[in-house]
Structure 1
Amino acid sequence: MTEFDTSSQDAATLETAPTRYIEGGGIRFAYRRLGPSTGTVLVLLQHFSGNIDAWDPAVVNVLATDRPVIAFDNAGVGRSTGQTPDNIAAMARHAVAFIKLLGLSEVDLLGFSLGGCVAQQIAAEHGRLVRKLILVGTAPRGGEEHLLTVLQDAFSQTDAPDVRLPLFFTKSSASQSAGQAFLKRAKVRKEDRDTDNGSAVTDPQAKALITWCATPDPEHAILRAIRQPALVVSGSHDTMLPADNAYAMFKALSNAQLVLYPDSGHGALFQYHELFVSHVRTFLEA
């Protein structure tokens, strides 16, 4: 449990919450916090290339109705200063530093894609800091990734209004419709939007993700070091980090549940936002 000075935090949404800053170790971290002032804080760890405003308000705001939620930019991302590392271990160290700067002694983690790799590293190394973790659309160390191939294919689809449509959703009309609804929600905020720092973020992040998956871990040392309860979530047709990764993590983790969503890609949590939030809440409250 934790408490912080919240000044109208309860009513804030991802679209309206002020962007706050906290500094330590030479890095000024940007973040937004929502929800009640008490309870175990849920910290969100973002996907490759994403910043605070790349989260889905339909996920973040509903989760924040009954628990404190913090979305933040790790080092070098968005409005946070510092340099984006090219390895998962350093990203995890920065995230832990941020959590400790906030004075939090125990948190839940929700890591999506690249953020899920970071969440695994943190949970394995900081057993007392992490109560529970949710791993979405991610991969274990030594897992399967097709990042560059999928990115190349997505950017070649010049008729797509946003690259996230081919990246995060399947080609079915239902999935594409859900993707368009997600993009509309993600663009609601007009004032004080987070910034995109381009290749200064994506180049080292791509190296970190590809290296993580290219590093053999036949004994699943990272996963076996994680003793906390975990919820593993994937889309059935995730082309970037395939669902086989989710099943591998589920088998190697000591206390995991597995959820696979049908006809969905990397952005399954946005396509099935109501179902996803329901599953997360059930898991965190158990």
Structure 2
Amino acid sequence: MTDLDAATSERATLETAPTRYIEGDGIRFAYRQLGPSTGTPLVLLQHFSGNIDAWDPAVVNALASDRSVIAFDNAGVGRSTGKTPDNVVAMARDAVTFLDLLGFSKVDLLGYSLGGCVAQQIAPEHSSLVRKLILVGTAPQGGEEHLLAVLEEAFSHTEAPDPRLPLFFTQSAASQAAGKAFLDRVYTRKEDRDIDNGSAVTDPQAKALITWCATPDPEHALLRAIEQPSLVVSGSHDTMLPAGNAYAMFKAMSNAQLILYPDSGHGALFQHHSLFVSQARAFLDA
């Protein structure tokens, strides 16, 4: 990155940052980089069906106030080329390719939902690369998932302005209000928005998530192989990947902390964004 690019990134927000591209291993990755170039970069691994503009600016911009934050589209997602894999192992391989292309020798990972599965796959295999993990609204191998049922329920709410409102938030007035505020924030960017690739992304991603949770790991071998400090976060009423997953992960991991947010669903980090950012920053800075 040039000095001009670095200065642009430091001033940018998720809503204003230019979408950049880097290519390798047959994939042209789209990404945005925010914040100062000092310290350990925080790389965001996105949820099922999500792209760069599905992240909440209130979370990303606040995290980038004192560290480099990179949001990117993995292979086949958004403006990145290639084919979206139908398994977590291949998704992790592609994400590591992206990190290698950027020349990072040490990163922190924030994996949300499906991205949290990818982060779990990367961390033990690349222990020298990954310093710390934040795992939000996710599940271990063999964990509990209700992806298809929850999606069907969410899309049945035809009165909702966006399926993420019933999908990510509870039915309480407070949670719904937080959800509407979240939607206002994610649609703030009008120019150069990321693109939705539809079933070419969602079909293989659904298979990957369902297969991950259907793969038994009764001894939690993968989780026990993760030695990095980890922060496990869940909403109290996450219907897609229930909070019991977070507790199981916390118990199995050797160096994990657990946070459960009240009256919140799969989008707990967006509903409680100020608290989440303060706790995430404290964890990363410790």
Report TM bin, short chain: over 0.9
Q: Structure 1 segments of 4 or more deviating over 4 A?
A: 2-5
> How many equivalent pairs are there?
285
Q: Residue in 1 aligned with 2:101? A: 101
Whichever residue aligns with residue 257 of structure 1, its letter is: Q
For residues 88-237 of structure 1, the aligned pairs below 5 Å read 88-237=88-237
Matched-pair contact (CA < 8 Å) for 1:41–1:108: yes
Instruction: Please give the per-residue CA displacement for 1:160-179, whole angstroms capped at 9, x wherever unaligned.
Output: 11000000000000000000
Give unpaired runs (5+ residues) of structure 1. none
CA distance in 2, matches of 1:20, 1:148: 33
CA distance in 2, matches of 1:222, 1:96: 18
For residues 5-24 of structure 1, the aligned pairs below 5 Å read 6-24=6-24
CA distance in 2, matches of 1:85, 1:273: 30
Matched-pair contact (CA < 8 Å) for 1:3–1:37: no
Q: Following TM superposition, by how much is the alpha carbon of 1:217 offset from its aligned partner in structure 2, in angstroms?
A: 0.2
Give unpaired runs (5+ residues) of structure 2. none
CA distance in 2, matches of 1:100, 1:20: 16
CA distance in 2, matches of 1:195, 1:281: 30
Instruction: Please give the per-residue CA displacement for 1:17-70, whole angstroms capped at 9, x wherever unaligned.
Output: 000000000000000000001110000000000000000000000000000000
Q: Residue in 2 aligned with 1:67? A: 67
Matched-pair contact (CA < 8 Å) for 1:9–1:33: yes
CA distance in 1, matches of 2:121, 2:65: 28
Whichever residue aligns with residue 183 of structure 2, its letter is: L
- What's the TM-score once normalised by structure 2's chain length? 0.98
Matched-pair contact (CA < 8 Å) for 1:145–1:241: yes
Aligned CA-pair RMSD: 1.1
Q: Percent identity?
A: 80
Q: Residue in 1 aligned with 2:268? A: 268
CA distance in 2, matches of 1:58, 1:118: 23
Q: Residue in 2 aligned with 1:26? A: 26
- What's the TM-score once normalised by structure 1's chain length? 0.98
Whichever residue aligns with residue 231 of structure 1, its letter is: L
